[in-house]
Structure 1
């Protein structure tokens, strides 16, 4: 749970218990802490121990009777898209991607709010958006996806020493036909190669959850089990 590398930081840490956000019949227990500035080397160390980030908060699952949420990472330098993934790349040849440091703008917020409203039946405020995706104690980029002049997707990516961490992706539901979630992950893997980062951290792989089980389709990948990163095979 507690990582020794955190001794170098001034953190506010706590345990939080509540309903599991992924498996509705279960409860979750997380260890979390907040910090306003995180050195890249320390972030690299704790993400390799299974920590994820939400705004200024870092958290690690600590559920005593469940191990369903498994950290997963893609070896981006060895990754080759599958036939179906290449089709999605071709489908989005008209899409232009602009990278920028994380910052607030109204256009991005409106896209995020539309996505949350139509895909998750959730009405998000500006404060929610800033707290979740704009506040960041680490170098974070937004990959903005455009069809012509229209913003149709946004991906948040943390830039670490030897890896990238895929934080979140939101898209215009009117463009669902493009499979932008798949496309964004493929472009993040490309960015890893361009920046010479080996790993793309994908968050949690949850075999029992339809929207979280797809991550094993990106290969070669590894999962974190009992403190060790192991190849995930068929």
Structure 2
């Protein structure tokens, strides 16, 4: 595990995030060094999938890996439909909550070795999880090792035209803060550019209730050059 991944893991295990998941309530934010706050929608994450979530679930095919599954609403919905799905998250509280919903989940980073690497049909990066690791291109390159050659990635974009990487902290707005870790925010245009640079092509773009999404498929050159048995 790299130093960056270790810092991120420690941050998301901090009490403000754990407490929010246990109660299912915020407030919870990501705080940038200059004091800017990004609200995290803990209540929505802990509820049943909404219309925007359903638009994602309807596009999932085959086996599904939910990266940064949080409290597990998406992977639980897939499991309830009899779909083969696994959630991964670096927060033990998130994994425990997902398991209580009857879904399979592991406490693991996407940059760690994963079950069935190279054979997942769909990988999900929802609720801002394109920010994991603070480097969208590196994350997407990693997913070339995780997803099958014919698989795809469904990623939620920031609802504004942004492309930034900075250090943030989990903050409960009442004085509780985690340790700093790198995070990224990318809008539709930025994610499409990062995807192209990482060997992915935009297959579909859509927006529901103000939440924009992209479906990514491997470029033909990346598909043929991806190493390892499938």
Q: TM-score, normalised by structure 2?
A: 0.34
Q: TM-score, normalised by structure 1?
A: 0.33
Q: Tell which structure's C-alpha radius of gyration is larger.
A: 1
Higher strand share: 1
